[in-house]
Amino acid sequence: MCIHIHDAQDHPPICIYITHNPESSKFSTKLKLNSRENQGAMATEVANKKVVLKRYIERGETPTESIMELVTAEAITLKVPEASPPAVLVKNLYLSCDPYGRFIMSRPEEGIKITSAPPNSPVRGYGVAKVVDSTHPDFKAGDYLWGITFWEEYSLITPTEFNFKINHTDVPLSYYAGLLGMPGLTAYVGFHEISSPKKGELVFVSAASGAVGQLVGQFAKLMGCYVVGSAGSDEKVNLLKNKLGFDNAFNYKKESDLGAALKRYFPEGIDIYFDNVGGAMLDAVLCNMRLGGRVTVCGMISQYNLKALEGVHNLLSIIGNCVRVQGFTVGQYLHLYRDFEEKVVNYVKEGKITYLEDVAEGLEAAPAAFVGLFEGKNIGKKLVVVAREQ
């Protein structure tokens, strides 16, 4: 006998198996959470609020909230449809706001390898979610996962290589939208795999209080490097120096000559530049690299809203200094995720890593949170709480 219990909220049904043993004349019970086999007929339909892209962001356009719309009318059945390929139906908890999301919201363009999400569909991006129903062998109902999801309360995801089960629920789940998720892996790969760091090297990080930058600086400190970061406000600079352990930091908006600023902090030059901004900062850095230096290009947020990209003028200097400039996307390094997760979870538990989050409450706050990235409004990792659930 199986009894299904539903609560008033949108939680998935709970099954209790009751077994009668004729020999002992006793009943035993077995709780099975979200057993797919037994909930088929009982799947609930709930409203599913979502943030929909109204139209593509055009080249040269600065994103505004008006390109997105909160849609509340749609309903969803909390069950993977029978005809679907292996998939999970999730309840979204935390959504990540990332500058690269601009490409997802842009008209597909030659040379840009990110697949756009078309208008009238919910915004796509990384997030943390709880599995409500699953036909995918890697996930079962009740699991938490992080990876590609959508800006809505519930999402049907056909997991690809971009979804990972969350192994550690004794750290804040939101960390899997940042420190332990895509931005964390990005910082880890970009620094440890691509920048070829050595103890004592001189490291410069731009957008240093952002989701990725704050971690690069801390990974570099853990390796015994000297680390300076740049950010766009005195408040951020203060956090870098006093909370995130950077050796020094400066507000690039207050510097009339970026090259001179870099010379001040790096009189002997820079070994590693972790570039999140591109443009004028990259140009200034190129003239300040040491022999054998490495420029790891993770992002170029200063360029994303420009109609025509700024020219970088100082590439000639990479010859004399034997400098390596390496661009990357984290998608090429997902095979390193589990190693990274174990290492960084331990850092967190040992108090070796601090992670700043900048939290927006509610799906309705998501458009402004995203738009704010391009104005430097976020301090730390920008994320949106859709629902809190343990």
Q: Rule CB under 8 A: which residues touch its own copies? A: 110-114, 278, 282, 287, 291-292, 297-300, 303, 308-329, 332
> What radius of gyration, in Å, describes the C-alpha atoms of the chain?
23
Cα(364)–Cα(64) distance, integer angstroms:
14
What does DSSP say about strands 226-231 and 202-205: parallel, antiparallel, or unpaired? parallel
- Residue 22 vs 60, nearer CB to its own copies: 60
Q: How far is the CB of 285 from its own copies (least distance, A)?
A: 12
Q: How far is the CB of 324 from its own copies (least distance, A)?
A: 5
Q: How far is the CB of 111 from its own copies (least distance, A)?
A: 5
Q: How far is the CB of 158 from its own copies (least distance, A)?
A: 23
What token pair was written down for 192? Answer: 């440890």
Q: How far is the CB of 66 from its own copies (least distance, A)?
A: 26
CB of 162 within 8 A of CB of 147? yes
* Angle, in degrees to the nearest 10, between helices 279-286 and 258-265: 50
Cα(221)–Cα(215) distance, integer angstroms:
10
What does DSSP say about strands 357-361 and 381-385: parallel, antiparallel, or unpaired? parallel
Q: From residue 236, how far is each of 210, 252, 297 by CA, in Å?
A: 9, 11, 21
Q: How far is the CB of 303 from its own copies (least distance, A)?
A: 6
Backbone phi and psi for residue 80, each to the nearest 5 degrees, phi listed first:
-65, 125
What token pair was written down for 273? Answer: 């530049």
Q: How far is the CB of 313 from its own copies (least distance, A)?
A: 5
Query: Looking at the DSSP assignment, which residues form a beta bridge with residue 105?
Result: none
Cα(62)–Cα(354) distance, integer angstroms:
31
Which residue's structure tokens are 């020999």?
Answer: 23
- Residue 247 vs 310, nearer CB to its own copies: 310
Secondary structure of residue 170 in the 3-state scheme: coil
- Residue 73 vs 316, nearer CB to its own copies: 316
What token pair was written down for 373? Answer: 């990235």
Q: How far is the CB of 30 from its own copies (least distance, A)?
A: 49
Q: How many CB atoms neighbour CB 131 within 10 A?
A: 24
- Residue 249 vs 289, nearer CB to its own copies: 289
Q: From residue 340, how far is each of 145, 321, 333, 363, 380 by CA, in Å?
A: 16, 32, 11, 29, 20
Angle at 284 between CA 281 and CA 290, to 5 degrees: 120
